[in-house]
Amino acid sequence: MFRSLPRLAAIFFLITLSVRAQQPAADARPTVWLIGDSTVNNSTKGLLGWGKPIAELFDPAKVRVENRARGGTSSRSFLREGMWDAVAKEIRRGDFVLMQFGHNDGGPIDREKARASLKGNGEETKDVTVLETGVAETVHTYGWYLRHYAAEAKAKGATPIILSLIPRNIWKDGKVGRATGDYGKAASEAAATGGFLFIDLNAIVAGHYDELGQEKVAAEFFTTDHTHTTPAGAVFNAGGVVEGIRTLKGCPLTGALRPAAAKTP
């Protein structure tokens, strides 16, 4: 019996090596985390968010893309419903976090979906009790939530990038509406206050929409409402994000873009 022990140990050692060899190696590539609403991640038939096509514009040998945006969320509800905590647990040093909120940050603050944040970028808060659930909550400003996500990402060694929201298909005098007076401005201020990178996606895409014209944009990029894009619109907006990334001086994410990744047409 005792003579067979070395042989059994050798067999066990070989089995262990075989099992380890079959296990996938840990992925060392940095992750590009995307958080936001349905304009970033949309699974509705005939619609698409820019978070899916943008994955094709990165070199898969250099980064992987995780689209954790969810339709219907605001900067406030993404935190309250635990979606941010789930992402934060997985963030590693060297990762990137791109965030785009604002389309759902308006509306009731304490009833119905109760997803509205306070306006602006300040530190003010408001304590509310949601009518339908009876749950108490301290509501912060839109900019505060963005800064919260960015600060936690940075503390984990990741590079946070704040994006202003893509424009809605609402026009006046031949120009698509900008968010320069509300959420676009607050996103810019949040980035400046915290010293975070910022992409004015609203301005980038709006400028290209103006060049294409209202009729073409409406026919090709929006078919159901003024917010959610078609697959063609999602690809176009992904190009706008890439265009913004290329302007970020010193950001290592620029080196992960495919050489042929086109800007918005």
Q: What positions carry a catalytic annotation?
A: 38, 225, 228
Count the neighbouring beta carbons within 10 Å of the beta carbon of residue 83.
16
- Residue 150 CA, chain-centre distance (Å), reads 11
- Residue 227 CA, chain-centre distance (Å), reads 16
Residue 237 amino acid letter: N
CA distances to 80, 180, 214 from 131, in Å:
16, 32, 41
Give dist(CA 69, CA 51) in Å, integer.
8
Strand, coil or helix: what is 107?
Answer: coil
Rg over CA atoms, the chain: 22
Strand, coil or helix: what is 77?
Answer: helix
- Closest to 61 measured CA to CA, from 33, 27, 99, 106: 27
Helix-then-strand count for the chain, H and E: 8, 9
User: What does the DSSP 8-state code read for residue 4?
Assistant: G
Strand, coil or helix: what is 257?
Answer: strand
Residue 191 backbone dihedrals phi, psi, to 5 degrees: -65, -45
Q: Give 8-61 as a DSSP string.
A: HHHHHHHHHHHHHHHSPPP--S-EEEEEESTTTS--STT---TTTGGGGGB-TT
For residue 94 the two structure tokens come to 């060297």
